[in-house]
Amino acid sequence: MRCPYCSHEDTQVVETRESDEGDTIRRRRRCLKCDKRFTTYERAEIALPTVVKKDGARVDFDPAKLRASMLLALRKRPVSVEQVDSAIERIQDYLLATGDRELPSARMGELVMRELKRIDKVAYVRFASVYRSFEDVDEFRQLIRDI
């Protein structure tokens, strides 16, 4: 595994843990050149559905994009990386369980909102306000009342 800090190709596994569900292995690694530590995750690669955008464009499901949008909503919120990882894992597990080959982007947004609502209500409101593109304050008030 190449070091993300210095790109040295020689790293050492310091610690290995299996997730509670047994489907992911977490490894703490140490670079033998710069001595920095980083975490890697190992899981079986399974084909996730293609996301169909509003304009009909089809793009591959990208967990990094999902993480980025969730982290934007969670900016400056007291939520751990582990909570975000778990939320992304639940979304991916759901997508695999459905067996669908395509997923409308609207459904993906709903899945993200469900997870954000579960871990942080403020992040949920932030994401929903952008995702649903409210036209007026009354729609925004209704969303807050629903929480």
Give 103-135 pLDDT, tens digit per residue: 999 899 999 999 999 999 889 888 887 776 666
Please report the pLDDT score of residue 99 as a whole number.
84
pLDDT at 37 over 90: yes
> Do 9 and 61 reside in the same domain of the chain?
no
Please report the pLDDT score of residue 136 as a whole number.
67
**Cβ atoms within 10 Å of 70's Cβ, excluding its own:** 22
> Do 21 and 54 reside in the same domain of the chain?
no
Domain count, the chain: 2
Confidence of residue 85 (pLDDT cuts 50, 70, 90): very high
Burial class (CB in 10 A: 0-12, 13-18, 19+), 88: middle
Please give the residue range of the domain that contains residue 61.
47-146
> Do 64 and 133 reside in the same domain of the chain?
yes
Confidence of residue 9 (pLDDT cuts 50, 70, 90): very high
> Do 84 and 103 reside in the same domain of the chain?
yes
> Do 39 and 53 reside in the same domain of the chain?
no
Confidence of residue 2 (pLDDT cuts 50, 70, 90): very high
Write out the DSSP string of 58-117. Answer: EEE--HHHHHHHHHHHTTTSS--HHHHHHHHHHHHHHHHHH--SEEEHHHHHHHHHHHHH
> Do 30 and 69 reside in the same domain of the chain?
no
> Do 62 and 116 reside in the same domain of the chain?
yes
Place of tokens 């597990």: 93
> Do 29 and 4 reside in the same domain of the chain?
yes
> Do 60 and 40 reside in the same domain of the chain?
no
> Do 19 and 88 reside in the same domain of the chain?
no
Percent of the chain clearing pLDDT 90 (strictly above): 63
> Do 38 and 59 reside in the same domain of the chain?
no
Last residue of a domain, one of 9, 29, 44: 44
> Do 30 and 59 reside in the same domain of the chain?
no
Q: What is the dihedral of CA 119, 125, 129, 131, to 10 degrees?
A: 10
Helix (H, G, I), strand (E, B) or coil at 57: coil
